[in-house]
Amino acid sequence: MTSRSPAALVSTVVLAVVLLAAAVQVQAARERAYPPGEASEDTLYIRSGSALRRLSGAYNGLFADMYWIRAVQYYGGLKLQLDARGAQPGMLEPPAAIAADAFPALYPLLDITTTLDPRFNIAYRFGSVFLAEAYPRGANRPDLAIALLEKGLRESPDKWQYMQDIAFVYYWFQHDYLSASRWFQKAADVPGAPWFLRSLAATTLEQGGDRQSSKAMWTMILQTAEVDWMRKDAQRRLLQLQALDVIDALQRAVTDYSQRTGTRADWPALIGARVLRGVPLDPTGVPFTLSDGRVQLSRSSTLWPPPEEPSARGSATP
């Protein structure tokens, strides 16, 4: 059998496959005996975007993409973990310290991404949402969301979308309607910006914080969303607001029933009294809960937690 014969070829291939399979088995055995450590997602060996920009030379764009993918994976992975933790009873409300720093590496990752590629539009827009969202859906850091968007504006001063996003963060997460109105106005003043920004600026100033203006804002975001993810988020927000309308109506019925009968209301009692036809469902089809006379979204609903609705208008200045 010479080294060029077909038999030699077959035996070499078989030997290679067997050896590879053996190597895989040995590795698996080693991992069972000595489990490898968990990779730490929030380890950032280089925290300086400027240093990375220099190191990446002619490949800034590619490095920015890698950091963007890392930011998305980090956010998504951690959110899944938090969701899983939140699904356990008693774990939904996090300790304040955890809630304030639930995504510690998120801002550095986004900062590096946008330093490597200062025109990375979606990193500013998505990133600000990830940062501003309340725990457990986000980092609960609207201040950093605004800082990120302002960084984007320094690079592209005419980007009305970033101004609109800043206004949105002030409106929705900071409840600072005066600042929100000012940023909507700034965005509206940019040539080429859509007409509705001007009316949003006026509505926010006049009726900031009321549910109707929130609905108008989310409807506008739904109509102008650039990507599917933003569209779905806007749809979810609108469903939440719709659920709040239903909760208000149900709460009135519950209070009325309790006052009339002098008893604490529950769903079977209300159905029995023909106040309701059945257990009321939220827009996603999950039953509302009624405990201690209060109608609420179920914690198992995808609409949980409901948006915070301030009773008084904020007035902090930017």
Partner 1 sequence: MRATAAIAISVFRESVRDKVFYNLVLFSLLMIGSSFLIGQLTAGQDVKIIKDLGLAATSMFGLFLSVFIGIGLVSKEVERRSIYSLIAKPITRAQLVLGKYCGLALTLAANMAVMAVALYAVLAYLAWGVPESTRAVWDAPALDPALMKAMLLIFAELMLVIALALFFSTFSSPMLSAALTFGLYVVGHFSGDLRNFQQVVDSPVAAAFARGLYWVLPNLAQFDVKSDVVHGVSVPAGYMALTGVYAATYIAMLLAIASLVFSRRDFK
Which residues contact partner 1 by CB under 8 A?
54, 57-62, 64-65, 68-69, 72-73, 117, 119, 121-122, 126, 226-229
Q: Which is nearer to partner 1, 225 or 275 (CB)?
A: 225
Nearest approach, Cβ of residue 185 and partner 1 (Å): 24
Nearest approach, Cβ of residue 192 and partner 1 (Å): 14
User: How far apart, in Å, are the Cα atoms of 265 and each of 11, 278, 307?
Assistant: 80, 14, 25
d(CA 93, CA 253): 29
d(CA 298, CA 250): 14
Nearest approach, Cβ of residue 15 and partner 1 (Å): 25
Q: Is the dihedral of CA 240, 242, 247, 248 positive or negative?
A: positive
d(CA 216, CA 219): 5
* Residues pairing with 295 in the sheet: 290
Nearest approach, Cβ of residue 306 and partner 1 (Å): 25
Q: What is the DSSP letter of 37?
A: P
Within 13 A of 251's CA, how many CA atoms are on the CB side? 11
Nearest approach, Cβ of residue 215 and partner 1 (Å): 22
Specify the residue for token string 């149900």.
Answer: 250
Q: Which is nearer to partner 1, 68 or 183 (CB)?
A: 68
Q: Which is nearer to partner 1, 75 or 170 (CB)?
A: 75
Q: Which is nearer to partner 1, 161 or 179 (CB)?
A: 161
User: Which one, of 135, 57, 130, 122, lies nearest residue 93 by Cα?
Assistant: 135
Q: Which is nearer to partner 1, 64 or 188 (CB)?
A: 64
Nearest approach, Cβ of residue 162 and partner 1 (Å): 14
Q: Which is nearer to partner 1, 103 or 257 (CB)?
A: 103
Angle, helices 106-116/60-86, rounded to nearest 10 degrees = 160
Nearest approach, Cβ of residue 26 and partner 1 (Å): 28
- CB burial readout 140-151, b (16+ within 10 A) else e: bbbebbbbbbeb
Q: Which is nearer to partner 1, 232 or 299 (CB)?
A: 232
Enumerate residues 6+ apart whose C-beta is below 8 A from 217.
168, 171, 172, 200, 204
